[in-house]
Structure 1
């Protein structure tokens, strides 16, 4: 594993940030202008308020502003040191995640723990590694378990590894779901990338998911409904209708987040 890439801590996945629309260059420019105007207005009102205060009170308020400035400097150092600490431990985690991958997928066998214990020989046709490890791990995660439908489980048994790594340009992070060859879709890796406006206090700019290449009749995010034609109808064939359905794999198709003025659906935010 390289470039800061690691197998995912499930707590990080469960806290994955909700999705949003991409901001265009024009939108960003308008946002910056709006913030600038707001700050200028606040500064003007701030001066008006200060001028209306008793001189002694004004002096106290100015001292409080000085204290806040010192706090902000310390906070900036905190974010800097936290980033360095996270990078340090990501490197320390890497060999552990590599060994976990090898054991889960049967690349290596666990050695006997005591001198008198001998590892069992691999029999022909015997399952390797830990079957359905990631499916069971996610089903035991409070948040992820709610997103996994019964019809998803067979596909998730082919999940070999989950990785997380930070990206710098643009700032954000990426989740990678590595799958073995399976009868559901062609992709060997499904990704979800989060672009952040502010990495220290996460503000999402947009999220991008993989387009899943489903095999014919295997799509888990849609279901086909069949309805018998009405009596006396010339068409005797069943009427079929395709509609979206709940599935863990909807995670890779970021829903549209409404504008600030609109109400955001609670289920959309949680996913």
Structure 2
């Protein structure tokens, strides 16, 4: 059986070379004890996180029929997604006047978490025919598990002269720029 990673196992006094030389005797021993208690808390927190993920996964499965019910209802409301986006306090700021008509073509929007929940999620947008691109479905996936989180997007088949340039300022991008741009998930305010 392999040895636990250094962060997971308790340390002995030789593994604290960064403690000041003045920290010795009873204080050093108490700090080592304190570290052992912190280790126990870390292990407990990790166990709790695992259990929370299991519960979340179970409820995600139970939510599926309710999401379907909601989808049927939203499909009966003309321009539902346009109304929702344009009235959202944050998303509406990413939609300039000249892009508002695109949202009348947004037929459905779905967020799907990956099976293990920790590794990421994807946003699936279904569009009717529109003047911006030929795609009916555009999926933007966020991979969060690796050391360098990443984003992947469906290749968009832009209509002539509709492909937006890469945003100059990541802090204020439009919806179309967001749709075609793959920033680090850490800096993606819209997702």
TM-score bracket, normalised by the shorter chain, equals 0.7 to 0.9
Cα-to-partner distance string for 1:120-143 (whole Å, 9 max, x where unaligned): xxxxxxxxx211111111222222
Contact 2:151 2:183 in 1 (8 A): no
1:255–1:165 CA distance, 2 compared to 1 (3 A): closer
- Does 2:51 match 1:85? no
CA distance in 2, matches of 1:48, 1:133: 59
Aligned partners of 2:134 and 2:159 also within 8 Å: yes
Counterpart among 122, 133, 144 of residue 185 in structure 1:
133
Q: Is the 8 A contact 1:148 1:248 kept in 2?
A: yes
Alignment of 1:25-174 (within 5 A): 46-49=16-19, 52-105=22-75, 129-167=76-114, 171-174=119-122
Secondary structure class of the residue paired with 1:212: coil
- Over alpha carbons, which structure has the higher Rg? 1
Write out per-residue CA displacement over residues 97-116 of structure 1, whole angstroms, 9 at most, x where no aligned residue: 111211222xxxxxxxxxxx
Q: What corresponds to 2:158 in structure 1? A: 214
C-alpha distance in 1 between matches for 2:163 and 2:96: 9
What is the RMSD computed on CA atoms of the aligned residues?
2.9
User: Is the CA contact (8 Å cut-off) linking 2:152 and 2:182 kept in structure 1?
Assistant: no
TM-score (normalizing by structure 1): 0.54
Structure 2 gaps, min length 5 = 1-5, 7-12, 166-172
The 2-side partners of 1:133 and 1:220 are apart by: 25
In structure 1, distance between residues paired with 2:123 and 2:188: 18
TM-score w.r.t. length of structure 2: 0.75
